[in-house]
Amino acid sequence: MSCCGSTAWAGKMAGRRPFSEERTLLVASDRVWFGLPEADWLEAFRSHPRIGERPIVASAAPRSAEWSNHEQSHAAGAEDQIKLALSEGNRAYEQKFGHIFIVCAMGKSAPEILEILRRRMHNEGGAELREAAEQQRQITQLRLKKWLGV
C-alpha cells in the first residue's frame, strides 16, 4: 500500500508473488494497474496529498507519507507566490475533474509542476483521467524501486 494506495492493486500484486526479479515485479505492476477499473485508480489518487501540501490523509501508509514528502520536496520549498498558485490550481483542477491533481513530482521544480497543472487543465475528462493514471503508474514504479532498495 505504500507503493500504490489502491487496495485492489495491492491485493492482486500480493497474489502474484513471489517475483523472481525487479523487472518481473515492475511489469506485473503495470499490468495490474492498467487492468483496474477507474474506481481503483481514484482510490489510489486519494492516498496522495495535494501537490505542495503535507500528507494528512489518514489512509496513507507512513512510508507513503514519507515518500510523498521526498517526492514533493521541490514544491514544498517553493516561493509563496508559487505555493499559492499551486493551491489555487489544485482547487480548480479538483473542481473540474473530481479528483486531486496527480503528477510524478520527483525531480521537478515547483514552477515545472505548476506549468504541468496548467497544461493539463485543458484536457477533457477521460484524457485527464488516463494521464493521472499514467502519473500514478510512474509514482508506483519509483516507490517499488525504493521499496526494493534500488
State the catalytic residues: 48
Q: Output DSSP code: residue 121.
A: T
Can you tell me the distance from the alpha carbon of 142 to that of 72, in angstroms, rounded to the nearest whole number? 13
Q: Which of 143, 81, 77, 75 is nearest to 112 (CA)?
A: 75
Can you tell me the distance from the alpha carbon of 107 to that of 60, in angstroms, rounded to the nearest whole number? 22
**Residue entry with cell 520536496:** 73
Asked if residue 93 lies in contact with residue 117, where contact means CB atoms within 8 angstroms, the answer is yes
